[in-house]
Amino acid sequence: MAQAASVVAGVALNPKTLAPSTVTSTKDPAEMFHTALDRALRSVNEFEMESTQAIDDLSSGKAVSLHDTMIAVEKADISQRLFMGVTRRAVEAYKEMMNMQI
Amino acid sequence: MSNLFTALRVGAQGMTAQRTRLNTTASNIANVQTTRTEEGGPYKRQDPIFQTVGIDKGVDGVRVDQVIEDQAEPRLVYDPGHPDSNADGYVAMPNVNLVEEMVNMITAQRAYDANASTIDTVKKMAKSALAIGDG
């Protein structure tokens, strides 16, 4: 949940500061959720880095086409929205469970 | 492998191909009266040849295979005072038809816009998918 909170803050994480992946593939449901979240986060970060790199290339004048830059930015946007949507719903489901009267 | 971003990639390749088409058309228009080239002789109009790039079953991208020179005969214009005229006083002018080039330019622009619409539509589809369950 701490990882999810940091993602909701919307920070673009540098892979150097991201802790090395400690997930191992097991069939434990709790571990599977952690694995999926970890993979998704890395994928979002990868798109984000590609988009930053594309914008840098364009503004420094390297021969990069304008539409490729815009598409890299849109990809990062879509994947980030998807990730935050999924995280939000997961957190809501958790809250609903915790609010159940015993 | 086919996912939401496949259409983005195909659209991007289409836009790049049309940009190349615009570049060759611009070159043809700029050189409509060029009588001197490095290989000797007048400028020959250039045409890009497009080729499919297989991405998935039924999904093909596009790329420029090569840019060929139109081998049609140059126009001969009678101008004995021109430094590049031949023995009979005719100058070989490029085989570029300005009207045809303008039409090519318009088609390239429309195709570029259409590919940009593809990409916009991908974004809209993604947004509506992400809005499932919000209502």
The residues, any chain, with a CB within 8 Å of residue A65's CB and separated by 6 or more, are B15, B16, B19
Strand ranges for chain B from DSSP E: 46-56, 59-69, 75-78, 90-93
Predicted pLDDT of residue B76: 93
B19 vs B62: CA distance, rounded Å: 12
**B8, closest residue in chain A (CA to CA):** A71
The residues, any chain, with a CB within 8 Å of residue A71's CB and separated by 6 or more, are B8, B11, B12, B119
Predicted pLDDT of residue A27: 64
**pLDDT tens digit sequence for B64-120:** 999 999 999 999 999 999 998 889 999 999 999 999 999 999 999 999 999 999 999
Of A68, A82, A89, which has the smallest distance from its Cβ to B12's Cβ? A68
B32 vs B45: CA distance, rounded Å: 9
Q: Do A82 and B12 touch (CB under 8 A)?
A: no
Q: Do A75 and B5 touch (CB under 8 A)?
A: yes
**A85, closest residue in chain B (CA to CA):** B130
Q: Return mean pLDDT, chain A.
A: 77
**pLDDT tens digit sequence for B41-75:** 899 999 999 999 998 888 999 999 999 999 999 99
Cβ A79 vs Cβ A44: under 8 Å: yes
Question: Residue A21's pLDDT band (boundaries 50, 70, 90)?
Answer: low
Q: Do B130 and A67 touch (CB under 8 A)?
A: no
**pLDDT tens digit sequence for A27-57:** 676 777 788 788 888 989 999 999 999 999 9
Interface confidence (ipTM) of the complex = 0.75
Chain position carrying tokens 């709790």? A30
Tell whether the model's pLDDT for residue A23 goes beyond 80. Answer: no
Predicted pLDDT of residue A87: 85
Cβ B98 vs Cβ B29: under 8 Å: yes
Contacts of A63 in chain B (CB under 8 A): none
The three-state (H, E, C) secondary structure of A1-58, written as one string: CHHHHHHHCCCCCCCCCCCCCCCCCCCCHHHHHHHHHHHHHHHHHHHHHHHHHHHHHH
* In chain B, residues 69-88 whose CB comes closer than 8 Å to chain A: none
Q: Please indicate if any CB of chain A lies within 8 Å of the CB of B19.
A: yes
**pLDDT tens digit sequence for A63-75:** 678 899 999 999 9
B51 vs B2: CA distance, rounded Å: 20
Cβ A101 vs Cβ A55: under 8 Å: no
Contacts of B15 in chain A (CB under 8 A): 65, 67
Buried b (16+ CB within 10 A) or exposed e, B63-89: ebeeeeeeeeebeeeeeeeeeebeeee
Tell whether the model's pLDDT for residue A11 goes beyond 50. Answer: no
B32 vs B95: CA distance, rounded Å: 8
Chain position carrying tokens 């993979």? A39
Q: Please indicate if any CB of chain A lies within 8 Å of the CB of B123.
A: yes
Chains A & B: contacts with CB separation below 8 Å = 31
Q: In 3-state terms, what secondary structure has residue B13? A: helix
Predicted pLDDT of residue B16: 94
